[in-house]
Structure 1
């Protein structure tokens, strides 16, 4: 028989099992009894130890905080998209209708290389042309910016309508982005982010102030997504870079109003062709008519 000093902590108390006559079996079974009476506070709780419980609580807090973040951001995004003015609504309705008709007609690009929509430049020119026919002061714009320490160089093309209907409000700039949703899509993104992006319209029509608010919300969501997925946030997804797409040094080029593009190649206007050898001067140039002279 030997003395085995054993101290067990139970519910804030230290129980000393050291005694001269205590055997190892006595100490062991008495330790089990103390463990049963202390329930979840002992080292042999259902979860194994207190440290595991702390990790479980921390994980559950992360999940809860994550859900609250995406829920709050979703509400902010929906509220921002709902806000609009009469000018924005009028231009938006006309733009969406023109895009719908253009997609149905499958017009041919001016360059003749692809159908409308396949060539971004020709598609933008066609939409701009039809908006001008509808009476809007629309033009194609191209933003260009140089690289800096935190922003790589780039350029981006979009449409812009300048509205001067109200002298009190002055000139209003309305941005039209035909591929707005795709500008924020991300490979290997989380389900929360993908659901968030699916709320965006494919065709954005709104004042520049509205656009800046959306960019701030969307870039914050992109940063949160990459952090949760432990991915690197690319510089072209940062707010400063994204804003330059529609805020950089702009080149505004008006598009001359012209008839809409032909629906398909077979319906293109056919140029008249004539050979100089078969050109009938008597039918086409009546001023050159001469009296026939009998040759003797």
Structure 2
């Protein structure tokens, strides 16, 4: 495939993705607003990680649970979802994934409405050996995806089709976990929704908040530290 053809493929892929992402229901818009506000809030409070691992960077598990709890506080039926799939004829590699969803009752006779939330959406499509055209396409994807399953399926198919053409043009093999069926399995296969966690007692909440607080030094501490190098302590023999 020539460079001109490949450029057209990327252009039309991005055009179609833009059309998909621009079509939002009022529910999707409200949930996106709450999700982005929750992420900003969590990251502004000394990082999103509050688990015992005390990760230097934000912990995905803590970020997912933090966003989920904030969405519940806002009145949404939100949960952390754990999907797991096995090898099949259409999915040559088993795997598992964790993300968030919101399930809301619909008006009238329609069934419940499901909205999928992926807090690291762009990163899911990044490839180390991707072509420059594909990199530009992925860079334009939203960092956080909030949308209904049919919208997500359309975006996945379009990005994966562009990835396949880019890899073929560069005579490179496309790994099975980069293909459309595998990527769809992450968010669109049956999942297990985690139940809400029990609320922390006031003592537990205070302990969790203080556990990651950085220690502060007083002026007395600095004054003492300045004088320590000049102090000479006599040796004491321990009997």
Q: The TM-score by the shorter chain falls in which range?
A: 0.7 to 0.9
Equivalent of residue 77 in structure 2, options 137, 141, 165:
137
- Structure with larger Rg: 1
Instruction: Specify the alignment match of 2:104 in structure 1.
Output: 163
Q: After TM superposition, which residue ranges in structure 1, 4 or more long, deviate above 3 angstroms? A: 107-110, 257-261
Structure 1 136/161 Cα, relative in aligned 2: closer, same or farther at 3 Å? same
In structure 1, C-alpha distance between the alignment counterparts of 2:92 and 2:158, rounded to whole Å:
19
Structure 1 177/224 Cα, relative in aligned 2: closer, same or farther at 3 Å? same
Bigger relative CO (Cα 8 Å, ≥ 6 apart): 2
Q: Do structure 1's residue 210 and structure 2's residue 151 form an aligned pair?
A: yes
Equivalent of residue 129 in structure 2, options 188, 192, 198:
188
In structure 2, C-alpha distance between the alignment counterparts of 1:188 and 1:122, rounded to whole Å:
30
In structure 2, C-alpha distance between the alignment counterparts of 1:64 and 1:196, rounded to whole Å:
16
**Contact 1:160/1:174, CA 8 A, preserved across alignment:** yes
In structure 1, C-alpha distance between the alignment counterparts of 2:161 and 2:23, rounded to whole Å:
20
Q: Do structure 1's residue 85 and structure 2's residue 21 form an aligned pair?
A: no
Instruction: Specify the alignment match of 2:45 in structure 1.
Output: 105
In structure 2, C-alpha distance between the alignment counterparts of 1:116 and 1:91, rounded to whole Å:
28
In structure 2, C-alpha distance between the alignment counterparts of 1:144 and 1:72, rounded to whole Å:
32
Per-residue CA deviation, residues 34-81 of structure 1 (Å, 9 max, x unaligned), is: xxxxxxxxxxxxxxxxxxxxxxxxxxx823322222221121111111
How many residues get paired? 207
Equivalent of residue 117 in structure 2, options 148, 155, 176:
176
In structure 2, C-alpha distance between the alignment counterparts of 1:119 and 1:254, rounded to whole Å:
20
In structure 1, C-alpha distance between the alignment counterparts of 2:22 and 2:129, rounded to whole Å:
29
In the superposition, the TM-score normalised over structure 2's length comes to 0.79
SS in 1 for 2:58: coil
Deviation at 1:183, TM superposition (A): 0.3
Q: Do structure 1's residue 220 and structure 2's residue 161 form an aligned pair?
A: yes
Deviation at 1:107, TM superposition (A): 4.5
Structure 1 107/198 Cα, relative in aligned 2: closer, same or farther at 3 Å? closer
Structure 2 gaps, min length 5: 215-239
**Contact 1:107/1:262, CA 8 A, preserved across alignment:** no
Equivalent of residue 181 in structure 2, options 224, 230, 240:
240
User: RMSD over aligned Cα, in angstroms?
Assistant: 2.2
